[in-house]
């Protein structure tokens, strides 16, 4: 008769197939390489990151709006929205602003640097539900980064959408991101409206708050536009409030308005609780929320 307590080993071996409920996925990091760095502004760069293992690269898929955890050993790990089209597998672009440990260090690494990525995590924009509808994308500052994915989707599937409008505002012209892409977007019949809070000598566009630009766009739309429109809003918390209120007043359905929330995160998998809003995990139930949900979240905006 045996009377000992047996050891239970939970590691499931070296299976290549990783399910989310396989506990060994928890700290599983795809080893990846920074294949290119494109400096957008003094503070923001676009990093192209490719998973090294070709098989893993094929398996890595994501939806617009999702994020990955990017890690540099000993430096830190943090969440970043994927900023590239979902049609590319295992090869993501992240637009990153230098603000802290990891992001500052990233601004110093070069092409070829080895990083780790986990994910993708979180909810996404329901792009396929948006077919046949108008899309209105409102971005403030760095908020354009996550929107670049749905923009690419619209570009790739332009015929499936009605009006496509982007309203994008920053503090000043030097902070505008992805300026080199604006012509291409316009060429794909996407209406891009830029506005800056403070102009400069080289700026001849409009100056003001993003709500001003949005107001102008909305004023030009027929009443039938609003019910048939999906809106995605991304940017600093103060912006949400005003923009969402405006859209709400024009009766854009609450379930068709999406925001992407940003909170502190340490795991991305609903464990560390740092991202909770009220008691909802931003990493699991978000970062993409519809406006109805956000309204019902205590302390969301």
Partner 1 sequence: MKKRARRHRREEGHGRTDMIFRTLGKAELPKLFGVMAAGGKIVAPVEAGRDRENRPVYVFRETARFEEAALSYTTTKLPAKRYFLPYREDLATFRIEGDDWQKLVDYNVDRPRIFFGLHPCDINALNRLDKVLLNGVYPMPYYVAKRKNMFIVGIDCLPQPYCFCRSMGADTALHGFDMFLTDLGDDYFVEILSDTAYNFLRCVRTSEPGEDDHARYMKAVSRKNDKFIAHVDTTDLTKILDMEFQSEVWKQWGDRCLACGTCANVCPTCYCYGVEETVSVDLGSARKTKTLYSCNLLDFAEVAGGHNFRPERHVRLKYRYYHKHRGFVEAYEEPLCVGCGRCGESCLAGITVPEVIASVRGEGA
Partner 2 sequence: MTDRNAGGTFLGVPLYRPRTAFFELASCEGCQLQVLNNEATLAPFLGLLEIVNFREAMTGGTDDYEIAFVEGSVSRKDEEDLLKEIRGNARVLVALGSCACFGGVNRLKDRFDPDWTRKTVYGEAPVESGRARPLEDLVAVDLKIYGCPVKKEEVEKVVTNIALGKAVVSPKYPVCMECKANENICLFDLGEPCLGPVTRAGCDSWCPNSRAGCWGCRGPAEDANVEQLEKIMQEHGFAQETILDRLECFGGFARFAEAFRRRRREGAE
Ligand X SMILES: Cc1cc2nc3c(=O)[nH]c(=O)nc-3n(C[C@H](O)[C@H](O)[C@H](O)COP(=O)(O)OP(=O)(O)OC[C@H]3O[C@@H](n4cnc5c(N)ncnc54)[C@H](O)[C@@H]3O)c2cc1C
Is residue 168 classed as helix, strand or coil in its secondary structure? strand
Tokens 């070709």, residue?
54
Residues of this chain, 122-151, that bind ligand X according to CB under 6 A:
142, 145-146
Residues of this chain, 68-87, that bind ligand X according to CB under 6 A:
76-81
Going by DSSP bridges, is the β-strand pair 30-39/114-121 parallel, antiparallel, or unpaired? antiparallel
Interaction between residue 272 and partner 2 (CB under 8 A): no
- Work out the number of other CB atoms within 10 angstroms of the CB of residue 171: 12
Nearer to ligand X among residue 89 and residue 266 (C-beta): 266
Nearer to partner 2 among residue 34 and residue 138 (C-beta): 34
Interaction between residue 264 and partner 2 (CB under 8 A): no
Cβ atoms of 107 and 101 closer than 8 Å: no
- Residue 177's nearest CA partner among 43, 65, 288 is 43
Nearer to partner 1 among residue 192 and residue 272 (C-beta): 272
Partner from partner 2, ligand X, partner 1, none binding residue 79, C-beta < 5-8 Å depending on class: ligand X
Nearer to partner 1 among residue 99 and residue 184 (C-beta): 99
Interaction between residue 102 and ligand X (CB under 6 A): yes
Is residue 113 classed as helix, strand or coil in its secondary structure? coil
* C-alpha distance across the termini of the chain, in Å: 62
Query: In whole angstroms, what is the distance from residue 96 CA to residue 61 CA?
Result: 20
- Residue 286's nearest CA partner among 144, 121, 122 is 122
Both tokens of 233, joined, read 């809003």
Cβ atoms of 252 and 217 closer than 8 Å: no
Partner from partner 2, partner 1, ligand X, none binding residue 67, C-beta < 5-8 Å depending on class: ligand X
Backbone torsion region of residue 208, taken as left when φ is above 0, otherwise alpha when ψ lies between -120 and 50, otherwise beta: left
Residues of this chain, 74-113, that bind partner 2 according to CB under 8 A:
74-75, 100-101, 104-105, 108-110, 112-113
Interaction between residue 262 and ligand X (CB under 6 A): yes
Nearer to ligand X among residue 145 and residue 190 (C-beta): 145
Return residues touching partner 1 (CB under 8 A): 1-11, 20-21, 23-27, 29, 71-78, 99-100, 103, 112-114, 116, 237, 262-264, 266-267, 269-274, 276, 278-280, 284, 298-299
Cβ burial, residue 115 (10 Å; 0-12/13-18/19+) = buried
In order of 119, 167, 179, 186, the CA distances from 182 in angstroms are: 29, 12, 6, 6
Nearer to partner 2 among residue 34 and residue 218 (C-beta): 34
Interaction between residue 222 and partner 2 (CB under 8 A): no
Interaction between residue 117 and ligand X (CB under 6 A): no
Residues interacting with ligand X, by CB under 6 A? 67, 76-81, 95-97, 99-103, 142, 145-146, 262-266, 287
Residues interacting with partner 2, by CB under 8 A? 72-75, 100-101, 104-105, 108-110, 112-114
């Amino acid at each position: 008769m045996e009377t000992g307590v047996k050891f239970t080993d939970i590691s499931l071996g070296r299976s290549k197939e990783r399910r989310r409920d396989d506990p060994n996925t928890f700290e599983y990091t795809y080893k990846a390489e920074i294949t290119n760095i494109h400096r957008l502004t003094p503070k923001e760069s676009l990093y192209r990151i490719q998973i090294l293992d070709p098989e893993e690269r094929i398996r890595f898929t994501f939806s617009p709006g999702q994020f990955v955890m990017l890690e540099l050993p000993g430096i830190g790990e943090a969440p970043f929205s994927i900023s590239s089209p979902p049609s590319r597998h295992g090869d993501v672009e992240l637009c990153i602003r230098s603000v802290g440990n990891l992001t500052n260090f990233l601004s110093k690494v070069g092409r070829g640097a080895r990083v780790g990525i986990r994910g993708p995590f979180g909810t996404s924009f329901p792009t396929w539900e948006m077919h046949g509808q108008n899309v209105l994308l409102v971005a403030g500052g760095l908020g354009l980064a996550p929107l670049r994915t749905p923009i690419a989707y619209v570009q790739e599937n332009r015929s499936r959408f009605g009006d496509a409008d982007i309203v994008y505002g920053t503090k000043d012209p030097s902070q505008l991101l992805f300026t080199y892409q604006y012509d291409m977007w316009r060429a794909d019949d996407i209406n891009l409206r830029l506005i800056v809070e403070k102009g400069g000598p080289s700026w001849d566009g409009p100056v003001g708050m993003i709500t001003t630009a949005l107001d102008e766009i909305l004023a030009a739309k027929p009443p039938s536009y609003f019910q048939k429109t999906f809106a995605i809003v991304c940017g600093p918390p103060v912006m949400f409030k005003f923009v969402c209120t405006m859209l709400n007043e024009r009766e854009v359905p609450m379930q068709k308005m999406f925001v992407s929330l940003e909170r502190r995160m340490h795991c991305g998998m609903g464990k560390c609780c740092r991202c909770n809003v009220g008691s909802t995990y931003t990493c699991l139930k978000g970062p993409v929320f519809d406006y109805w949900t956000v309204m019902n979240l205590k302390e969301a905006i």
